[in-house]
C-alpha cells in the first residue's frame, strides 16, 4: 500500500507497476472507385518496412481520447476534414512492430471518391490501392492491395489484416446500416448505390430486387433531379434521409 500522486490508496495493481505498451491509431480509409474498393495508403520512407505501404496512423496522446486521435490522423495525415469514422478492432500481437510493443486501435473511415481527390492533391505520398479480397463472404483474413497498373503494393506491419477486417466489417454492416451511402456523394442514382454494394460484397446483385429493397427501407428521398452527362436516359437522383436519431450517441472511445 503506497500513497500515490492522484491520492488513491492502491494495492498490488498500481497503475505504475506495469510497463506500458505504446498506443497508436491506424486508419483504414476506404472509398469506391470504378467499381472496386480502394484504400488510402502512405509510403514509408524509413525503417522498419521502408518502401512498404502503410495505413495513415499516429500515436495516441496522453490527454486525447481514441476517437479524437483517429480524427486527428484523418485531418493531419489524410488531409480530410471529416468522414464517417468508426472503431474497427484493436491489434496487439507482441511482435507486430519490430521496434517494440505497440498496440494499435484501428478505425475505418468512408468517403466518396470526389472528397478523396482533394486529399490526394494535398500530399504526394498518398496513394489509392485497389483492395483484392481472396476470401468469400465474411470469412475474413488479410487482403492484397494493387496499384492502378496491377502491381502488388507490399503492406507494412499487420495492415493487410486491418484492411481485411475493415472489409469484413463493411460486408457485415452493409444491409442493416447506412454505410453504403457514406461512399457516395450527397445525391446519387440507384445504379451507383448498387455498384457500391457490389464492390463491397464482391458479387453481382439483382437489379429490380435491389431497387425494391432500398426503396422499401424508406431512407431514400427522390430529389426530382436527374443525373447529367449520360448518353442515355438519365436516372433519378436520390438523397439519403437520416433516420430519427433513435441510436443514442456512442460513447467516446
* Binding partner of residue 242 among a copy of itself, DNA, none, CB cut-off 5 to 8 Å per kind: none
Contact segment (CB under 8 A) with a copy of itself among 2-10, 27-35, 180-188, 215-223 equals 2-10
From the list a copy of itself, DNA, none, pick the one residue 113 interacts with, judged by a Cβ distance below 5 to 8 Å according to partner type: none
Cα–Cα distance, 16 to 62 (Å, whole number): 15
Answer for which of 93, 122, 151, 222 binds a copy of itself (CB under 8 A) is: 93
Which three cell numbers mark 108? 475505418
Contact window for a copy of itself (CB under 8 A) among 33-41, 117-125, 133-141, 184-192: 133-141
Is 26 among the residues that bind a copy of itself (CB under 8 A)? Answer: no
Told to check if 135 binds a copy of itself by CB under 8 A, we report: yes
Check binding of 207 to DNA (CB under 7 A).
Answer: yes
Work out the angle at residue 131's Cα, subtended by the Cα atoms of residues 240 and 103, and round it to the nearest 5 degrees: 95
- Strand-pairing partners, residue 91, are 104
Q: Does 242 bind a copy of itself (CB under 8 A)?
A: no
Residue 31: exposure state from Cβ atoms within 10 A (0-12, 13-18, ≥19): buried
Which residue among 37, 53, 91, 166 contacts a copy of itself (CB under 8 A)? Answer: 91
**CB-nearer residue toward a copy of itself: 137 or 185:** 137
By beta-carbon proximity to DNA, the closer residue of 207 and 221 is 207
Stretch that binds DNA, among 23-31, 107-115, 129-137, 231-239 (CB under 7 A): 231-239
Question: Which is nearer to DNA, 121 or 206 (by Cβ)?
Answer: 206
Residues 6+ apart with CB under 8 A from 11: 1
Binding of residue 203 to a copy of itself (CB under 8 A)? no
Is residue 75 near a copy of itself by the rule CB under 8 A?
A: no
Q: Which of 140, 235, 239, 240 binds DNA (CB under 7 A)?
A: 235
Residue 21 as a binder of a copy of itself (CB under 8 A): the answer is yes
Which one, 57 or 180, has the nearer CB to DNA?
180
- Residue 251's contacts (CB-CB under 8 Å, 6 or more residues apart) are none
Site of interaction with DNA (CB under 7 A): 189-191, 206-209, 211-213, 216, 226, 230-236
Amino acid at each position: 500500500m503506497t500513497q500515490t500522486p492522484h491520492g488513491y490508496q492502491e494495492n498490488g495493481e498500481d497503475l505504475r507497476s506495469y510497463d506500458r505498451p505504446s498506443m497508436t491509431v491506424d486508419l483504414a480509409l476506404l472509398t469506391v472507385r470504378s467499381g472496386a474498393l480502394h484504400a488510402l495508403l502512405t509510403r514509408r520512407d524509413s525503417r522498419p518496412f521502408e518502401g512498404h505501404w502503410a495505413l495513415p496512423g499516429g500515436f495516441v496522446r496522453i490527454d486525447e481520447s481514441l476517437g479524437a486521435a483517429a480524427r486527428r490522423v484523418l485531418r493531419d495525415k489524410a488531409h480530410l476534414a471529416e468522414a464517417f469514422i468508426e472503431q474497427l478492432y484493436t491489434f496487439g500481437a507482441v511482435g507486430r512492430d519490430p521496434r517494440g510493443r505497440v498496440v494499435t486501435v484501428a478505425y475505418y473511415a468512408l468517403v466518396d471518391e470526389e472528397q478523396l481527390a482533394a486529399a490526394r492533391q494535398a500530399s504526394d505520398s498518398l496513394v489509392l490501392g485497389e483492395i483484392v479480397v481472396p476470401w468469400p463472404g465474411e470469412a475474413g483474413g488479410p487482403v492484397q492491395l494493387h496499384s492502378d497498373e496491377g502491381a502488388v503494393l507490399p503492406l507494412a506491419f499487420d495492415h493487410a489484416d486491418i484492411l481485411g477486417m475493415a472489409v469484413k466489417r463493411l460486408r457485415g454492416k452493409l444491409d442493416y446500416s447506412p454505410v453504403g451511402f457514406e461512399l457516395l456523394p450527397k445525391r446519387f442514382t440507384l445504379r451507383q448505390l448498387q455498384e457500391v454494394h457490389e464492390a463491397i460484397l464482391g458479387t453481382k446483385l439483382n437489379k429490380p430486387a435491389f431497387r425494391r429493397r432500398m426503396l422499401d427501407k424508406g431512407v431514400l428521398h427522390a430529389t426530382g433531379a436527374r443525373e447529367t452527362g449520360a448518353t442515355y436516359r438519365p436516372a433519378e437522383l436520390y438523397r439519403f434521409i437520416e433516420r430519427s436519431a433513435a441510436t443514442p450517441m456512442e460513447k467516446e472511445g
